[in-house]
Structure 1
Amino acid sequence: MNHKVGMISLGCPKNLVDGEMMLAKLRQAGFQIVTDVDEADAIIVNTCGFIEDAKKEAIDNILEMAQLKQEGTIRAVVVTGCLAERYREEVKKEIPEVDAVIGIGKNADIAQVVTDALAGTQTEAFPPKDRLCMNGERVLATPPFWAYLRIADGCDNRCSYCAIPMIRGRFRSRPMEEILEEAKTLVKNGAKELILIAQDTTRYGEDLYGELRLPLLLRELCKIDGLSWLRLLYCYPDRITDELLSVMAQEEKVLPYLDLPLQHADSAILRAMNRTGDRRSLTKLIQHIREMVPDVTLRTTLIVGFPGEGGKEFATLAQFIKDVRFDHLGCFTYSPEEGTPAAAMGSQVPEDVKQRRQEIIMEEQSRIVERRLKSKKGKTMPVLVEGFDAYAECWYGRTAADAPDIDGKVFFHVKAPVSPGDLLPVTVTGYLDYDLVGEEAEDGPRKS
């Protein structure tokens, strides 16, 4: 079989891992994987369907591929991922040029689905979500020196604004043995950094073992020779335990980096979101984390304009941001999602008010970030080299305080040749927007 297939993968890292596993299935079946759409016989659009902007991006990409099919550039269009799982019949009905729409439980059969699509046979299939395979070969879409490591899928948190439980199903942890085996393979193939992902990484193990086992998993991962960095994303605040923080403080490979999607700080809004806590308890949690994990980097995401958020509730959130001073912060306007409890709530906030509140939060965060970047001048820190910027005529990479694609970078000059994936010490000399600028330290050790 010499058919060529390409993929457009949208949305979060969890969806990207699904895409990487589907590409491996296709390669095993004899397909040639291509990155140029014009070279492909079939294109898979691996969609996100989480919020309105993501749905629009997915639909725009599907329509673009449908147009290429009509023009004869490609022969088949297959839609996978969260939008396909969530909207099922609507995708094919609204965009008839699509040849196949499959839910996440059908991902393992992607080679047959694409084969059928190229032969003119259409597929619409939505097996149970728990049939999603989380173990197997992947064709990495990330550079070889870092990779995502999925430890669970689905979610049981049931936040009132979120469609993820409807789309991905119940929370399901992977057996620890599977995760460790995959991690060893990734490191053997060149990964220096592994980034742990799930809808809620802190819940890992609860369903399989009857207890939270993220701390134990981290300790076992740290035993892998050749691994330099372990990073945690998507940590639920209710399950940040002292055991987890102790592991972060004690294990050199576990980066002092926590991604805590808090969403809000006002008690009434958090209750309406079906989340716990308030400004006082969340501030106390942040203080406790900083006490237990020195130099920790904290990232969060927020939602403004949730139903019932008036001036008082927003002021609570804004003051919380000023007081706590997160290192990294993303702020989204509330998007009512069909089928979620929040979409049916009264007191919906006008769109222009949401937008203004988002701007206020991000303006404050930009001031916080500027102060943080200024404080780093003169400091020397390890940097994972990612590549060379021909325009800036220097190398760039990331520190332990920066996750790929969502945080900042470091642009720096070197004393001798380097390669992507190297770890080397860089002394910060300044900053530009959200990025640091520096020079390789004179006498610091390199690690290839």
Structure 2
Amino acid sequence: MSRKKVNIVTLGCSKNEVDSELMQGILDKRSFEYVNEPEEANIIIVNTCGFIEAAKEESIDTILSMAQYKVGGNCEGLILAGCMAQRYSKELLEELPEVDAVIGTGNIKYLNAVLEGINKGERIISTDNINSEYLERIDREVTSPVAYVRISEGCDNLCTYCIIPQIRGRHRSRRIEDIVEEASDLAEKGVREIILIAQNTSDYGIDLYDEYKLGYLLDRLNSVEGVELIRLLYVYPDNINDELIDSIKRNKKVAKYLDIPLQHASDRILKLMNRRTTRMEITDTITKLRSKLPGLILRTTFIVGFPGETEEDFNELCNFVEEVRFDKLGVFAYSREESTPAFSLPNQIDDAIKEQRRERIMELQMKISEELMSNKVGNFYDVMIEEFAEEGLYVGRSYMDSPEIDGVFYVKSNRELELGEIVKAQAVEFLEYDLIGELRDESC
């Protein structure tokens, strides 16, 4: 009997990307074959995102698009996975007759059973285990020199705007030995940069070891042969301690790059958000980081238009952005999500005002970014080549840029470069968020 062909369409963040790779890895190869294109597939899995309204809309559009393959294509079964599937499992199955099964965020280990079930004509909901343990020792399929490594799952922060604890569960750290083993396996497959992710990476270890262990984890990962760069995302400011900073400083493979989601700078709004830091504490942390880690690249994200945000609160945020001068910055307009405490807060902000405030912050950041980028011209950087652009021109990234969310480093070269190769390039021009460089003459 021929194997059924399966395709996974991934939406949302890097955590979903890891989940998709895990699902691909646990497929029973005797019964199922993974294919790269949905039009080839007998079964399509849409790994959805449901964090904010725009993400939910994208997920619905994608589901409906994939459902067309059941009408005029090879598709016999449509499965929904991921955050929106967890959050709205019953509604999705009731309102979308094209959908055959829903798998929640903690139930992907049951994928093969679900696949067998829909082959028998069953409609399945499997969403009852959001606090499940991470799937260890799965042979992840990776084709890039860059891979995400999830060091924990879930979140205990309970920010008032966030639905994540309800769909990803409580905070659960993975064992250090398991993370190091996964990094080693990825390195053997050609991965040169690993990006550590979680809902909150700075909380790593506290539940498992009764102490924050992110710094120690970096020490262990720094010794993994084949890994050239280790990048940290989602490092909440609460638990950036001296041990972590010292670990980043002493471990040469750890990028001097931190993604620190701050969300606001007004103490009043931070309190309404149930964030655990004040503006003064945040400022002190950033000052210490920049003092101890020369060349550090700081990325952050903010939410504008949170319920009750006054012009005074917003102006305080603008002043903070101008004062700190982040290297990278993203801004989201507050999304009012049912089942969160902020949904019921008074003084909800009009969407038009939210967008005006978002644009104003981005205009401020554009000017800051141009000034910071101009200061990088003339400097040399190690750049990982990721894409061929045109004859003599390649697209890559230095330690200053995380894939997909930051800029790129264009490299001019008279010789042919290999994808995944790390070269030394001198920045000669700058754009708003990107650099253009030339390959250094190795004979110099």
TM above 0.5, one fold?
yes
Between 129-138 and 71-80, report the one with greater CA deviation. Answer: 129-138
Percent identity for Structure 1 against Structure 2: 43
Partners of 2:147 and 2:31 in 1: CA distance: 24
Cα distance in 2, alignment partners of residues 29 and 204 from structure 1: 37
Q: CA offset at residue 29 of structure 1?
A: 4.4
Tell me the equivalent position of 1:134.
135
Distance (Å, rounded) in 1 between the aligned partners of 2:33 and 2:222: 36
Aligned length: 443
2:396·2:408 contact (CA, 8 Å) conserved in 1? Answer: yes
Measured in 1, the distance between the counterparts of 2:191 and 2:108 equals 25
Q: In 2 relative to 1, CA 256–425 (structure 1 residues): closer, same or farther, beyond 3 Å?
A: same
Compute the displacement of 1:72 (Å): 4.1
* Consecutive aligned runs of 4 or more in structure 1 exceeding 3 Å deviation: 27-30, 138-141
How far apart in 2 are the matches of 1:188 and 1:433? 36
Q: What is the alpha-carbon distance in structure 1 between the residues aligned to residue 133 and residue 87 of structure 2?
A: 15
Deviation sequence 1:316-359 (CA, Å, 0-9, x none)? 00000000011111100000111100000001011000000000
- Equivalent residue of 2:270, what SS? helix
Task: Write the letter of the residue equivalent to 2:320.
Answer: F
Partner AA of 1:432 in structure 2: L
Tell me the TM-score normalised to structure 1 length: 0.96
Check the 8 A contact 1:134/1:174 in 2, yes or no: no
Cα distance in 2, alignment partners of residues 203 and 387 from structure 1: 35
Residues 35-54 of structure 1 mapped to structure 2, 5 A cutoff: 35-54=36-55
Task: Write out per-residue CA displacement over residues 298-324 of structure 1, whole angstroms, 9 at most, x where no aligned residue.
Answer: 000100000010100000000000000
In structure 1, the partner of 2:216 is: 216
Range that drifts further, 357-366 or 280-289? 280-289
Q: CA deviation at 1:277?
A: 2.9
Q: Which runs of 5+ in 2 are unaligned?
A: none
Residues 396 and 411, structure 1, Cα contact 8 Å, conserved in 2: yes
State how far apart, in whole Å, the 2-side matches of 1:83 and 1:275 are. 24
Seen in structure 2, the aligned counterparts of structure 1 residues 140 and 433 have a Cα distance that, compared at 3 Å, is farther
Alpha-carbon contact 1:299-1:329 (below 8 Å) kept:
yes
Q: 1:172: which partner in 2?
A: 172
Counterpart residue type for residue 237 of structure 2: P
Q: Is the Cα–Cα contact under 8 Å of residues 146 and 194 in structure 2 kept in the other structure? A: yes
Shift of 1:396: 1.0
Query: Where does 1:38-437 land on structure 2 (aligned, <5 Å)?
Result: 38-140=39-141, 143-390=143-390, 394-437=393-436
1:444 positional shift: 7.5
Counterpart CA distance in 1 for 2:136 and 2:343 is: 35
The CA RMSD measured in Å over matched residues stands at 1.5
Structure 2 residue matching 1:246: 3-state secondary structure: helix
CA distance in 2, matches of 1:386, 1:273: 38
For residue 288 of structure 1, report the CA deviation from its aligned partner.
1.1
Secondary structure of the residue that 2:264 maps to in structure 1? coil
Q: How far is the alpha carbon of 1:76 from its aligned partner?
A: 1.1
Distance 1:364 1:66 in 2: 42
**Equivalent residue of 1:354, what SS?**
helix
Specify whether residues 194 and 125 from structure 1 end up closer, same or farther in structure 2 by C-alpha distance, changes over 3 A only. same
Instruction: Check the 8 A contact 1:300/1:326 in 2, yes or no.
Output: yes
Q: 1:85: how far off?
A: 0.6
C-alpha separation in 2, matches of 1:19 and 1:117: 19
Q: Which letter maps to 1:259? A: D
Which range is displaced more, 51-60 or 122-131? Answer: 122-131
Distance 2:443 2:104 in 1: 50
SS in 1 for 2:425: strand
Unaligned runs of 5+ in 1: none
